[in-house]
């Protein structure tokens, strides 16, 4: 399975054509003023320069462009009402797993890239929280929300660097740490998109998510693999990590395996229902673009 690289994630900009984070949002999640205004005037953010027209504010004339082109040109400004969109990727080592076309970590990167490009196309500002690469003193990288490519491209590079490249023990505390780190950064009116397999979901992380959901719009994207829901077939299988593996009987393990998966599924669904959060599942067996197009072109978020 090929790991995503920066070129692939940048190229997903084309696949994000027509995707929107504003469309098909549940009625209870609508936010007034949650996107930028088309209003132009002396706002907060420069947008473009165009030839001067009768009625334009003379204070907005761009004298440098006017001198260079020999005709009056005026600056246009856009009132900055872009919604901050935080993309949180729980990219722990346990995601380096996949029984079909891609690992869960690769699916997370591709989905996050498509979400980022969709947010940029919609005029939102993109911020991100994801694990730091290597043994950094600060376990989480924080990318403040920025508009357009300035918000997307640094995130894509960081995703490529942070993705797991070999099997390692999962870090169940990572989800709780990420949600706790985001708490002081998430402002009212923001949108938080959380990509995780939710293997580390516990009472503390549920409480942290409840705090975030009370002050902003949150959406959950669960990363799954068909083997998790179906368990191992009959036979003997060697599983584990390098230097620490063991044999497991597929048929004998099926009952506890399916019970554990069902419990995780019920817990996440109960949490989403209790907090009124949209929940979608992304599967490693299905192309990431195909899944995100179904999610962001149709009302596919399930409560």
Predicted confidence (pLDDT) per residue in 70-109, tens digit = 999 888 765 445 789 999 999 988 898 888 889 999 999 9
13 plus 123 within the same structural domain: yes
Give pLDDT, residue 98. Answer: 85
Q: Model confidence over 218-269: pLDDT tens digits? A: 999 999 999 888 866 776 666 666 666 667 766 777 777 788 889 999 999 9
Residues 59 and 147 in one domain: no
Same domain, 49 and 142: no
Q: What is the mean pLDDT of residues 179-199?
A: 92
Same domain? For 44 and 107 the reply is: no
Confidence check: pLDDT of 39 > 50: no
Confirm whether 246 is domain-assigned: yes
> Residue 118's closest CA among 33, 181, 24, 251?
24
The CA distance from 135 to 247, in Å, is: 31
Determine what percent of the chain is predicted with pLDDT higher than 90. 47
Domain match, 60 and 186 both: no
**What is the reported pLDDT for 241?**
60
What per-residue confidence (pLDDT) applies to 35? Answer: 40
If asked whether residues 115 and 239 sit together in one domain, one would say: yes
24, 169: one domain:
yes
Would you say residue 302 lies in a domain?
no
Is 303 within a domain?
no
Tens digit of pLDDT for each residue in 111-153? 999 999 999 998 999 999 988 765 555 678 899 999 989 999 9
Spatial distance between the Cα atoms of 295 and 290, rounded to a whole number of angstroms: 9
Global pTM value: 0.76
Torsion sign over Cα 245, 251, 257, 261: positive
- Give me the phi and psi of 246, to 5 degrees please: -155, 165
- Quick one: pLDDT at residue 7? 97
Which range marks the domain in which residue 107 is found?
6-31+83-297
In the chain the first and final C-alpha atoms are separated, in Å, by 32
Query: What is the reported pLDDT for 55?
Result: 66
Neighbours of 173 (CB within 10 A): 14
**Highest-scoring range by mean pLDDT, 34-48, 191-205, 218-232, 246-260:** 191-205
- Mean pLDDT, range 154-178, rounded to an integer: 86
In the chain, % of residues over pLDDT 70: 79
Residues 170 and 126 in one domain: yes
For the chain, what is the domain count?
2
Co-location of 13 and 121 in the same domain: yes
Residue 26 has pLDDT above 60, yes or no: no
131 and 245 part of one domain: yes
- Residue 279 covered by a domain: yes
Q: Is residue 160 part of a domain?
A: yes
d(CA 221, CA 302): 10
Mean per-residue pLDDT over the chain, rounded: 82
């Amino acid at each position: 399975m090929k790991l995503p690289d920066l070129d692939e994630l940048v190229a997903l900009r084309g696949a994000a054509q027509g995707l929107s984070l504003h469309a098909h949002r549940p009625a209870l999640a609508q936010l007034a003023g949650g996107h930028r205004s088309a209003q132009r005037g002396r706002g907060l953010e420069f947008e473009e320069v165009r030839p001067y027209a009768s009625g334009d504010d003379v204070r907005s004339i761009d004298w440098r462009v006017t001198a260079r082109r020999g005709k009056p040109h005026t600056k246009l400004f856009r009132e900055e009402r872009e919604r901050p969109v935080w993309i949180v990727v729980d990219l722990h080592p346990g995601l380096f797993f996949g029984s079909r076309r891609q690992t869960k970590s690769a699916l997370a990167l591709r989905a996050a890239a498509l979400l980022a490009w969709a947010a940029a196309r919609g005029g939102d500002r993109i911020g991100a929280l994801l694990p730091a690469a290597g043994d950094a003193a600060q376990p989480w990288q924080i990318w403040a929300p920025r508009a357009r490519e300035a918000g997307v491209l640094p995130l894509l590079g960081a995703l490529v660097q942070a993705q797991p490249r070999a099997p390692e023990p999962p870090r169940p505390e990572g989800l709780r740490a990420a949600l706790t780190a985001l708490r002081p950064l998430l402002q009212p009116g923001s949108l938080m998109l959380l990509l995780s397999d939710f293997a580390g979901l516990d009472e503390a992380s549920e409480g942290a998510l409840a705090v975030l959901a009370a002050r902003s719009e949150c959406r959950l994207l669960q990363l799954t693999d068909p083997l998790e829901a179906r368990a191992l077939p009959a036979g003997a299988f060697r599983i584990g990590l390098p230097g620490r593996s063991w044999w497991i009987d597929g048929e004998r393990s099926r009952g506890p395996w399916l019970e554990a998966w069902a419990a995780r599924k019920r817990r996440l669904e109960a949490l989403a229902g209790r907090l009124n959060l949209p929940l979608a599942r992304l599967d490693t067996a299905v192309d990431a673009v195909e899944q995100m197009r179904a999610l962001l072109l149709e009302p596919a978020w399930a409560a």
